[in-house]
């Protein structure tokens, strides 16, 4: 059994081509740079050691495994930045390992290169189906290997940077939610339920994803509202209300620099509009309010009604829907989206009752 060789590989890499391999984040952050880690899985010791030596000499940290199951175990332990998988391996093939990596939300963004035989067209098709990012043909050419590895690692560094930026926004949003212990869990429920409602009414994938993100960050602009206003138990003065009502615009501004949040921005900005134009910040009317914002606000209102607060008891789901129906008639919420929501809840009765209980317990 070939063992993991992170430390020896790092030592062997001294004097190698380090400079090109530090992630952007490490350089910008001024943090001690860490070499990128590559996991190689191959049951042929000679090719395994050949690849390991080559990549170690280039300064990468290299982990190794001799079959598919060992590769998955090593993936769990070492969190590599890229995988090189031989297609034919005992226990689990390269395809199986690749399929598992690409179907797990935690690992799906790790690039996978499959190593196939010279004329294996069928292997390539199966590899594409399994979600592989690239292929190399045996015997592996050194220059091709390094070019592909570096290109995929560059892409991954950008993705990682983006994920870190999203993680910061989510953490900020949760810290604002955490200021009020009575709203705990609201964002998570909102993200889940509005994503499901988006799917239910047939919105395309990117908009559903935007709804899930907006569920977490929609109130991020409240960071600009002073605590004595945000947590005030009694009615707000007109000045205080004006401060609170800035939060959609402030939130949009906070998230605007993130390109991956472009579909989230209209949801953040317009989640307090009303169909009759009496909402804020822009007083938009009817269908000029983006559909995604109309979806989020239905779920937002519902979750607020079914949750217990110091000043009110948790409302049973049916009662909450009756209140909302009245508000639809007053011209506040979209009647079609509301109808779809009621229909969706009807078909998900058990799940919703569980959610209502969780909201009541917060």
Q: Among residues 219 and 303, whose Cβ is nearest to Fe ion?
A: 219
Q: Where along the sequence are the contacts to Fe ion (CB under 5 A)?
A: 219
Task: Name which of 219 and 273 has its Cβ closer to Fe ion.
Answer: 219
Tell me the C-alpha distance between 197 and 203, whole Å.
9
Half-sphere exposure of 141 (CA within 13 A, CB side): 8
> Is-contact 62 37, C-beta < 8 A?
yes
Start-to-end Cα distance in the chain: 51
Active site residue 222: yes
Residue nearest to Fe ion (CB): 219
> Least distance (Å) from Fe ion to the CB of residue 257?
21
Using the minimum distance from each CB to Fe ion, give the nearer residue, 101 or 307.
Answer: 307
Query: How many CA atoms within 13 Å lie on the side-chain side of 210?
Result: 23
Q: Degrees (nearest 5) of the Cα angle 98, 104, 108?
A: 60
Least distance (Å) between residue 218 CB and Fe ion? 6
Comparing CB distances to Fe ion, the nearer of 40 and 299 is 299
CB of 180 to Fe ion, least distance (A): 13
Please tell me what DSSP assigns to residue 331: T
Across the strands, what pairs with 69? none
Judged by beta carbon, residue 41 or residue 173, the one nearer Fe ion is 173
Out of 156, 179, 207, 222, the active site residue is: 222
Shortest Å distance, C-beta 219 to Fe ion: 4
Query: Which residues lie closer than 8 Å to 213 by C-beta, 6 or more apart?
Result: 166, 191, 261, 264
Residue 299 CB, nearest approach to Fe ion (Å): 12
**SS3 assignment for 142-190:** HHHHHHHHHHHHHHHHHHHHHHHHHHHHHHHHHHHHHHCHHHCCHHHHH
Query: Hey, which residues are catalytic here?
Result: 222
């Amino acid at each position: 059994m070939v063992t993991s060789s992170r430390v020896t590989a790092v030592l062997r890499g001294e004097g190698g081509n380090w400079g090109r391999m530090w992630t952007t984040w490490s350089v910008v952050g001024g943090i001690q740079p860490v070499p990128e880690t590559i996991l190689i899985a191959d049951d042929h010791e000679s090719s395994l050691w050949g690849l390991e030596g080559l990549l170690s000499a280039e300064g990468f940290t290299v982990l190794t495994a001799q079959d598919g199951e060992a590769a998955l175990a090593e993936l769990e332990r070492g969190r590599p930045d890229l995988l090189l998988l031989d297609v034919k391996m005992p226990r689990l093939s390269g395809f199986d390992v690749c399929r598992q990596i690409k179907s797990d939300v935690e690992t799906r963004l790790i690039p996978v290169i499959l190593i196939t035989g010279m004329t294996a067209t069928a292997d390539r098709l199966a590899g594409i189906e399994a979600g592989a990012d690239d292929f190399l043909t045996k015997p592996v050419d050194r220059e091709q290997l390094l070019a592909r590895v570096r290109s995929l690692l560059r892409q991954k560094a950008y993705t990682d940077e983006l994920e870190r930026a999203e993680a910061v926004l989510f953490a900020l949003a949760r810290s604002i939610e955490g200021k009020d212990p009575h709203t705990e869990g609201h964002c998570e429920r909102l993200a889940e339920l509005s994503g499901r409602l988006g799917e239910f009414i047939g919105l395309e994938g990117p908009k559903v994803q935007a709804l899930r993100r907006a569920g977490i960050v929609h109130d991020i602009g409240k960071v600009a509202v002073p605590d004595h206003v945000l947590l005030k138990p009694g009615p707000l003065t007109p000045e205080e209300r004006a401060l609170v009502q800035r939060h959609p615009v402030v939130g949009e501004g906070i998230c605007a620099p993130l390109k991956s949040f472009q579909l989230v921005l209209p949801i953040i900005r317009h989640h307090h509009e009303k169909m009759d134009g009496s909402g804020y910040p822009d007083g938009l009317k009817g269908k000029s309010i983006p559909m995604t914002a109309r979806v989020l606000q239905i779920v937002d209102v519902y979750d607020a009604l079914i949750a217990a607060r110091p000043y009110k008891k948790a409302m049973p789901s049916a009662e909450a829907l009756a209140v909302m129906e009245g508000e639809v008639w007053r011209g506040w919420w979209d009647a079609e989206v509301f109808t779809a929501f009621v229909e969706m809840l009807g078909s998900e009765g058990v799940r919703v009752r569980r959610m209502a209980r969780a909201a009541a317990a917060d």
